[in-house]
């Protein structure tokens, strides 16, 4: 009986290690089924290359085999990952599954692997060894979870486009997660080989890959305990089946499939999602109403050119979204970008922030050429933005969203966290304090622990601004930040933008609330059909006949002109003075839509 339970517990540990190889990529939003192939390569290579336990001892032989196996697994993952990292979802799953099956067939036809007969291996692994390895792997992912690196992987899983805009190098992070999965799968392959006494290529086939994936999904990819929970649950099903006297072999796969269906329907985050995540918001000293964001970036002197664009154009299949736009934004300005729906405002902003390349023309933002520079490098130069359609990391809390926003402003801590260096704790504390200041600045400190998906629409817009501020930007780009806000919220947002400009930020924002734009901006640019229709001060724009005809409409001209005059009298240079009532305007061009936040053309890009 004791031997039976010892064997069961050992397999729980081994299954958990294999599930962690899937967890390593699931946490980054990747669906890979190549881990069985990594494990088989590692197992056969380690058994063939590691010293004989009879000659050097069990522990030295096992350690040598583990080193060889993990290195082979990581190398195989790197070789497979380089050409497949551009694949997503089911396409990546098919490619990696094909790799695993190809490896199995090749090993099956090699003499040095023993073919279908397999290789005999001495039993070296004990229950204690297996659980020691499982705990060490779990420790790795535990310390990774709250680090800058771990948060970057979670952000990629939630929304890859938004992660790029936060300055995360998505390709490098996805590849590193893939290599980690290969190393962990290699560890599993070696331990399995030195426990079951005989390894054959069939031990690492399609069934093994699916079982590992099911275990990881059942346990959950939102917390490091997921694979342990999933492996324990899956491995104990046969034991419960025997205990109640059920001998039918179909019970385990039936229950596994049923439980997976239940998890997908009711617990998308797996069993681990039942464990609450901790969100600690540190107390701040000083004025909580307008805390200093504590940035370290040196902003350009007032009046220095931040954005310079000449002849900037974007075409989608012959349709001109933006045509020959010349634009210059200087440090310290608050520039409003307005125009009818479909005028190309979001397309222009997407080009300036590096999300889409221009079809013609040239532009530089903070000295970085646009069109040839990856998005994360544009962000690193000091550009931060929000999106027209909210792109928050839905399953992360408000605090975690803002921590991701500070990816470039915060120091990496993962490797230092592994060895508990005090400097890692200090840097994490500094990151938390900066995130807390950003949440206080937009009025969301009390909702730090709330999931982003549970916030109201207005709060989500403010959270996006807090996340953008966490990057310590020089240029802050806001795409319709007041959308969905009521009169009072829009006034508060206007005051916030002016206060940020007073702190030295340069701000470019798109907005349809013309009253808010008039009292907030120092300069306004009007687009119409992708071209610059007018540019000037709020007073000049409000009185411009071309703008009134194309955007405001004759019926609203008098109201808006009066609002501009009132705003001119009450708009000091960034002192956050009292705002005038909001003047909501509606575009005069009916039936058009702004382009979405996307990198490719769609029917909504232009009208």
| Fold exhibited by the domain 300-382+473-607 | Rossmann fold (3.40.50)
What CATH number belongs to 391-472? 3.40.50.300
User: Could you tell me if 319 and 303 are in contact, meaning their C-beta atoms sit under 8 angstroms apart?
Assistant: no
Q: Which of 103-117, 355-369, 560-574 has the lowest mean pLDDT?
A: 560-574
pLDDT at 578: 34
DSSP 571: -
Give the DSSP H or E segment for 337: strand 334-338
Share above pLDDT 90 across residues of the chain, in percent, rounded to a whole number: 61
User: Token digits for 569?
Assistant: 């009298």
Between helix 2-26 and helix 35-49 the angle, nearest 10°, is 120
Rounded-to-integer distance, Cα 225 and Cα 229, Å: 6
Across 239-243, 277-281, 346-350, 555-559, least confident range: 555-559
508 CB burial (10 A radius; 0-12, 13-18, 19+): buried
| Residue 536 φ/ψ, nearest 5 degrees | 165, -170
Identify the pLDDT of residue 64.
Answer: 95
Condensed to tens digits (0 to 9), the pLDDT of residues 120-140 reads 999 999 999 999 999 999 999
Higher pLDDT, 295 or 433: 433
Question: Does residue 580 register a pLDDT over 70?
Answer: no
DSSP string, 129-172: HHHHHHHHHHHHHHHHHTSHHHHHHHHHHH-HHHHHHTT--HHH
Beta pairing class for 305-316 and 368-369: unpaired
**Average pLDDT of the residues in 95-119:** 92
Residue 592 has pLDDT above 50, yes or no: no
**C-beta separation of 559 from 545 below 8 A:** no
Of residues 232 and 580, more confidence is placed in: 232
Tens digits of residue pLDDT in 539-567: 999 888 888 887 766 555 555 555 555 55
CB–CB of 588/553 below 8 Å?
A: yes
Q: How confident is the model at residue 358 (pLDDT cuts 50, 70, 90)?
A: very high
Q: Which position has the higher pLDDT, 295 or 517?
A: 517
Tokens standing for 450?
A: 């709330």
Q: Find the Cα–Cα–Cα–Cα dihedral 494, 500, 506, 512, rounded to 10°.
A: -10
Same fold, 300-382+473-607 and 391-472: yes
Residue with the bigger pLDDT between 511 and 577: it is: 511
**Range from 174-183, 391-400, 527-536, 596-605 carrying the lowest mean pLDDT:** 596-605
pLDDT at position 393 over 80: yes
Per-domain residue ranges for the chain?
2-203, 300-382+473-607, 391-472
Mean pLDDT of 382-388: 94
Instruction: Answer with the residue of higher pLDDT: 21 or 602.
Output: 21
Residue pair 446/475 in contact (Cβ under 8 Å)? The answer is no
Tokens coding 302: 């007032």
Structure tokens at 227: 């694979």
What token pair was written down for 336? 């409003």
The angle subtended at Cα 584 by Cα 580 and Cα 588, nearest 5°, is: 140
User: Which letter, b or e, does each residue of 385-419 get, where b requires 16 or more Cβ atoms within 10 Å of its Cβ?
Assistant: bbbbebbbbebbbbbbbbbbbbbbbbeebbebbee
Count of beta carbons in the 10 Å neighbourhood of residue 432:
20
**Rounded CA gap, 431 and 472, in Å?**
12
The DSSP code sequence of 219-283 is H-SSSTTHHHHHHHHHHHHHHHHHHTT---TTHHHHHHHHHHHHHHHH-TT-GGGGSPPP-----
Question: Measured between alpha carbons, how far is residue 585 from residues 560, 563, 588 in Å?
Answer: 8, 12, 9
Average pLDDT over residues 206-210: 91
d(CA 236, CA 455): 39
Which of 132-146, 304-318, 474-488, 590-604 shows the lowest mean pLDDT across its residues?
590-604
Q: Residue 350 in contact with residue 386, Cβ under 8 Å?
A: no
Q: What is the pLDDT of residue 262?
A: 80
Across the range 330-357, mean pLDDT stands at 92
Q: Pseudo-torsion of CA 551, 554, 560, 564, nearest 10°?
A: 90
Mean pLDDT calculated for residue range 228-242? 78
- pLDDT on residue 3: 60
Q: If pLDDT is split at 50, 70 and 90, which confidence band does 583 have?
A: very low
- The three-state secondary structure class of 559 is helix
Mean predicted lDDT score pLDDT of the chain? 85
Could you read off the pLDDT of 30-72 as tens digits, one per residue?
A: 999 999 999 999 999 999 999 888 778 889 999 999 999 999 9
Compute the average pLDDT of residues 347-351.
94
Q: What is the pLDDT of residues 79-103, one digit of tens each?
A: 999 999 889 889 999 999 999 999 9
pLDDT in tens, 153-182: 999 999 999 999 999 999 999 999 999 999
Helix (H/G/I), strand (E/B), else coil: 413: coil
Residue 375 has pLDDT above 90, yes or no: yes
- The pair of three-digit structure tokens given for residue 303, joined into one six-digit string: 């009046």
Residue 509 has pLDDT above 60, yes or no: yes
State the Cα–Cα distance between residues 92 and 87, nearest whole angstrom. 5
449: helix, strand or coil: coil
* pLDDT of 150 higher than 60: yes
Mean pLDDT, residues 375-383: 93
Place of tokens 């969301």: 444
């Amino acid at each position: 009986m004791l031997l039976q339970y010892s064997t069961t517990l050992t397999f729980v540990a081994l299954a958990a290690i294999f599930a962690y190889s899937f967890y390593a990529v699931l946490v980054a939003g990747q669906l890979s089924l190549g881990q069985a192939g990594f494990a088989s390569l590692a197992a056969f290579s380690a058994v063939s290359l590691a010293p004989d336990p009879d000659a050097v001892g069990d522990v030295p032989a096992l350690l040598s085999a583990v080193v060889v196996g993990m290195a082979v697994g990581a190398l195989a993952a790197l070789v497979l990952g380089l050409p497949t990292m551009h694949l997503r979802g089911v396409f990546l799953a098919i490619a990696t599954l094909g790799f695993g099956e190809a490896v199995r067939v090749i090993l099956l036809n090699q003499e040095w692997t023993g073919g279908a007969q397999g290789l005999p291996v001495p039993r070296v692994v004990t229950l204690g060894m297996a659980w020691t390895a499982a705990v060490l792997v779990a420790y790795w992912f535990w310390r990774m979870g709250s680090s800058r690196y771990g948060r970057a992987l979670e952000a990629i899983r939630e929304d890859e486009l938004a992660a790029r805009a936060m300055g995360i190098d998505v390709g490098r992070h996805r590849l590193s997660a893939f290599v980690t999965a290969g190393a962990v799968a290699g560890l599993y392959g070696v331990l399995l080989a030195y426990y079951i006494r005989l390894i054959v290529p069939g031990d690492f086939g399609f069934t093994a890959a699916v079982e590992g994936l099911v275990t990881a999904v059942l346990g959950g990819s939102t917390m490091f305990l997921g694979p342990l929970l999933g492996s324990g649950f899956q491995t104990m099903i046969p034991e419960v089946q025997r205990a109640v006297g059920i001998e039918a072999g179909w019970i385990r796969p039936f229950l596994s499939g049923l439980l997976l269906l239940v998890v997908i329907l009711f617990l998308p985050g797996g069993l681990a999602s039942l464990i609450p995540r901790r969100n600690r918001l540190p107390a701040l000293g000083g004025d909580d109403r307008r805390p200093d964001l504590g940035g370290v970036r040196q902003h350009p002197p007032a009046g220095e050119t931040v954005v310079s664009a000449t002849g900037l154009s974007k075409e989608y299949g012959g349709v001109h979204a933006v045509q020959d736009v010349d634009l210059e934004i200087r440090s310290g300005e608050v520039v409003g970008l307005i125009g009818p729906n479909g005028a190309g405002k979001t397309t222009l902003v997407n080009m300036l922030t590096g999300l889409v390349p221009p079809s013609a023309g040239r532009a530089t933002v903070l000295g970085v050429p646009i069109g040839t520079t990856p998005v994360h490098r544009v962000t690193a130069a000091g550009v931060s933005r929000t999106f027209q359609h909210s792109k928050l990391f839905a399953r992360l809390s408000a605090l975690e969203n803002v921590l991701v926003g500070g990816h470039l402003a915060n120091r990496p801590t993962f490797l230092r966290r592994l060895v508990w260096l005090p400097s890692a704790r200090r840097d994490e504390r500094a990151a938390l304090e900066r995130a807390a200041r950003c949440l206080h600045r937009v009025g969301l400190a009390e909702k730090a622990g709330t999931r982003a998906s549970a916030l109201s629409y207005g709060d989500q817009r403010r959270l996006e601004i807090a996340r953008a501020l966490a990057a310590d930007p020089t240029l802050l780009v806001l795409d319709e930040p007041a959308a969905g806000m009521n009169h009072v919220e829009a006034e508060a947002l206007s005051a916030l933008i002016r206060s940020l400009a007073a702190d030295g930020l340069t701000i470019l924002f798109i907005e349809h609330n013309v009253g808010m734009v008039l009292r907030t901006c120092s300069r306004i640019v009007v687009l119409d059909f992708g071209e610059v229709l007018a540019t000037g001060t709020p007073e000049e724009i409000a009185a411009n006949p071309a703008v009134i005809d194309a955007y405001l409409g004759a019926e609203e001209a008098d109201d808006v002109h009066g609002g501009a005059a009132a705003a001119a009298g009450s708009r000091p240079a960034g002192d956050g003075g009292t705002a005038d009532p909001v003047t909501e305007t509606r575009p005069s061009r009916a039936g058009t839509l702004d382009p979405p936040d996307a990198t490719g053309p769609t029917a909504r890009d232009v009208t």
